[in-house]
Amino acid sequence: MIRYLVRRVLLLLITLLVTSMIVFALTQFLPGDIARLILGRDASPEAIETFRQEFGLNESLPMQYVNWLGGFLTGNWGKSFAEGNPSVRPLVLDRLGNSLILAGFTLLISVPIAILLGVMAALRENTWLDSLISLLSLSVVGLPEFVTGIVLINIFALGLGWFEATSLIQDDYNIGDWLRILTLPAITASFVLIGYITRLTRAGMIDELKKPYVQTAILKGLPFCQVIFKHVLRNALLPTITVIAISIGWLMGGIVVIENVFNFPGMGSLLVKAVEQKNLPILQAVVVLIVFIFAAANLIADLIYAALNPRIRLN
């Protein structure tokens, strides 16, 4: 198990190193002169040269990469190109905290509901309940996030007034305030996850229920609920774990539409803003951080795999 963990951690580090090279190279080949794009066409040559020296843009590309990577590893993520040149690290970490809260709340809603629906559909295979759950899961996957978000805002925020229409966050918010601003975007993101996880859980459960060990366990007198939730579900969830891990990466940076609909200050909206403003320090930091979270989530999924299926530890 230790060797397995060491190999995966080393692979994670190599992945991050390669990703950092790719991200840095892609941002360097953006069209136009970054200094002139940031300062404007009317900027003097002296101002442009000062800007390049301040951000190290006048050095060679390999040296720029070494300086950027060294600063990133030591916690110095550079300064933003935005007005006032704020430090990148606290800005990105603040957005990361918001995205982690939204992602965690979304998974808290979607995963238990999806697994329960998948188990119910599998246990009632080819019945009206199975058909209904399958139809609903396929329908919610096909719904565009911006449509779902706008409908929820109109009904539950503007109509009933139960939740906030926008997700502006303040420092003095309590748990009730957080629930009011997180519920609608979390439900919007949950629709897609519930559809995928339900279908995977159903397929895994049906496959496991047909295996001989299930009938053997029942014939030995084990309670049906114990057979389902302790044995069948344990094996059926292996493919689902991968989807949940991938969903964490998607929730951190891929729910751009949802964040824009609800004006949520997360990593996705920060990434879009950085691209629009050609703000390379923020763009590089956000992308590398999202890749790290995505890779770390997959590592955690592999460790859970090993816990649920001991044979993986031997390979």
CATH of region 89-314, choose from 3.30.470.10, 3.30.1360.100, 1.10.3720.10, 3.60.20.10? 1.10.3720.10
Q: Please give the pLDDT value at position 172.
A: 64
- Decide: 192 and 254 in contact? Cβ < 8 Å: no
26 or 105, which is more confident?
Answer: 105
Full DSSP string of 122-141: HHTTTSHHHHHHHHHHHHHH
- Residue spans in the chain of domains classed CATH 1.10.3720.10: 89-314
For the stretch 165-207, pLDDT in tens is: 766 666 666 677 777 778 888 888 888 888 888 888 888 888 8
| pTM tops 0.85 | no
Q: Identity (one letter) of the amino acid at 288?
A: V
For the stretch 235-284, pLDDT in tens is: 787 778 777 877 777 777 667 778 878 888 888 788 888 877 778 888 88
DSSP 143: S
- Minimal CA–CA distance to 77: which of 85, 65, 68, 86? 68
* Residue-averaged pLDDT of the chain: 79
Q: Please give the pLDDT value at position 236.
A: 81
CA 81/CA 281 separation, integer angstroms: 7
Environment class of 181 (CB within 10 Å of its CB; exposed 0-12, middle 13-18, buried 19+): buried
For the stretch 71-101, pLDDT in tens is: 888 888 877 777 667 788 888 888 888 888 8
Q: Please give the pLDDT value at position 136.
A: 84
- Is residue 54 very low, low, confident or very high in pLDDT (cuts 50, 70, 90)? confident
Q: Identity (one letter) of the amino acid at 66?
A: V
3 pLDDT higher than 60 = yes
SS3 (DSSP) at 146: helix
Q: Which two tokens stand for residue 94?
A: 């603040």
Q: Please give the pLDDT value at position 150.
A: 83
